[in-house]
Copies of this chain bind each other. A is one copy, B any other.
Amino acid sequence: MSKNRNIGKKSASKLKSRRKNIPSTEQLMEGILKGDQSMLARAITLVESTNPEHQEKAYDIIEQCLSHKNDTLRIGITGVPGVGKSTFIESFGSMLTDMGKKVAVLAVDPTSTLSKGSILGDKTRMPHLVNDPQAFIRPSPSGESLGGVARKTRESIILCEAAGYDVILVETVGVGQSETAVHSMVDFFLLLKLSGAGDELQGIKRGIMEMADAIVINKAEGKNIKQAERARSEFERALHLYPPKESKWSPKVVCCSSLNGSGIPEIWKMVNAYAIQSKASGFFKNNRQNQNTYWFYQTVESLLQRQFYNEPSVKKAMLPLQKDVEELRISPFRAAEQLLAAYSKGLK
């Protein structure tokens, strides 16, 4: 207590309540390693926080979690809104927990602030899984840049794995750039599609097709089955047009019904076949290493930019230069050089 002698009553009580609210790093680590869901959730809240103190703590925890290597599988799941991602995850995830697996569901959804309809925001979309003690579901953080949301999801994966989750499902919407971010944090990338009318207009991007390790045609049930089968052979033909993947895995196209469960066990078998093949070839490990490197450089560049734009000399020179650029008094390149010069001068 003697150390706190100079702290006013108010600050002291604030500090106390903060201490009360946030467990220590040790407590959090202990909880995570025991698989305590509420401790895991609180640690992820620290990861998502923008408070520098919380971030510092979060990085201590992430650092400690890194060394707890588990034999995990990270599966990315994408598809346009309405394709049935939640019901698929509900069905696929419940099957896995029935098999004794521990399943974590995370989301990357930078669109949530725009559409107000955050994926995973409404946990009731997965009524069974949400009450399953073997499953951990984390709604998507919102209101930040894609880079920020994605980085935090990636860090949450590390925490979930240290907490003993075997299978990590990362959900994202198949529009925009979020799939690329998810693709660079998972082992297996699964694209959900619907058969039939209107799907072309939902316009999944060519790039996503190329990323997919499997295309799953959902809602293949009742009178949809025939149409789904037709879509399956169409997609198979389309996939043949792409060059072979670095993993040497040939992407599969399968039909399933999240409603009646048909095709769901086959998808798990397929993911396992992929894991066996890519581990044997060394691709699995290699890919994770490359992903780590990718996130390292992504983080370097975002920190570098933040540092640059926060430098007072840059802040001061930036808008006048932008004005000059807009009005053609200077070329963008010369203006950029001058801003860099202001930065260097400011650092000295």
Contact = CB atoms under 8 A, between A and B. Distances in A.
Contacts of A66: 328-331
A301 interface: yes
A241 interface: yes
A307 B307 CA distance: 14
| Interface range on chain A (Cβ under 8 Å from partner) | 35 or more
A108 to B, nearest CB: 16
B299 A332 contact: yes
Interface string A298-317: 11110111011000000000
B205 A331 contact: no
A225 interface: no
A30 to B, nearest CB: 20
B207 A332 contact: no
Contacts of A300: 308, 336, 339-340
A289 B324 CA distance: 10
**10 closest Cβ contacts across the A-B interface?**
A203-B206, A299-B336, A296-B332, A289-B326, A295-B332, A300-B336, A296-B325, A205-B205, A292-B325, A66-B328
11 contacts: A62-B333, A66-B330, A151-B333, A205-B205, A292-B326, A293-B326, A295-B332, A300-B336, A303-B337, A304-B340, A347-B348
